[in-house]
Structure formats: C-alpha cells, structure tokens
Amino acid sequence: MIERYRMQLDLMSLMKLLFLVGFGVGFLLGLLMALYTLSQGADFFGVLITVIISPFSNGAITAVFGLIGYPFYNWYCMRNRGQLLSGRFQKEQDQA
C-alpha cells in the first residue's frame, strides 16, 4: 500500500541519504570513466584506483553539500510543514 507522509529528516539522516545517493552516482560514473579511459589506452592500475576512489569521494562530497545546505532544507521544511513523501513506510520501534 502506498502511503503519503509529511516529514523532515534530521541532519545525520539527510547526510546518510545523500552519501548513499552520491556513492551510487560515483560508482556509475567511475565505471563509465574507467571504460572510457581504458578504451583510450590508459594503464589498468590507474583506472582501478579511480574506480575504487570515485564512489567514496563522490559520496563524501555529496554529504558535505548536505551539511552546507541543511539550514536551507530546515527552513524549507519548517515553512512547508515538512516535505511530502510517498512510498512504503514501516515504523521502527525504539529499543529500550
């Protein structure tokens, strides 16, 4: 069942989400860059380093941008009573 909620992420949740998105984009772009540079005759070891570093560096940069942009995100969510999300949600119980 698809549900809709208004919500606002806290700083750490936003940074984790953005790191995950940045990691995925960095992985995809790293692979595309590796294929391109290998087709141009680059050495395999240099390309391998790029493929390994690219997801982590892109994820970290994206998380830092989330840190920088959090004041605007917080202002936007306060003004609009959060952001409207739809999807499948499951409430987690606090472990006491």
Confidence grade of residue 96 (pLDDT, cut at 50, 70, 90) = low
Q: Residue 74, SS3?
A: helix
* Helix 11-39 × helix 44-79 angle, to 10°: 150
The yes-or-no verdict on residue 3 having pLDDT over 90 is no
> Tell me, what DSSP letter sits at residue 82?
S
pLDDT tens-digit series, residues 44-71: 888 888 889 999 999 999 999 999 999 9
For residues 9, 15, 18 and 20, what is the CA-based torsion angle, rounded to 10 degrees?
A: -110
Residue 16 has pLDDT above 90, yes or no: yes
Q: Report the run of H or E that residue 85 belongs to, with start and end.
A: strand 83-87
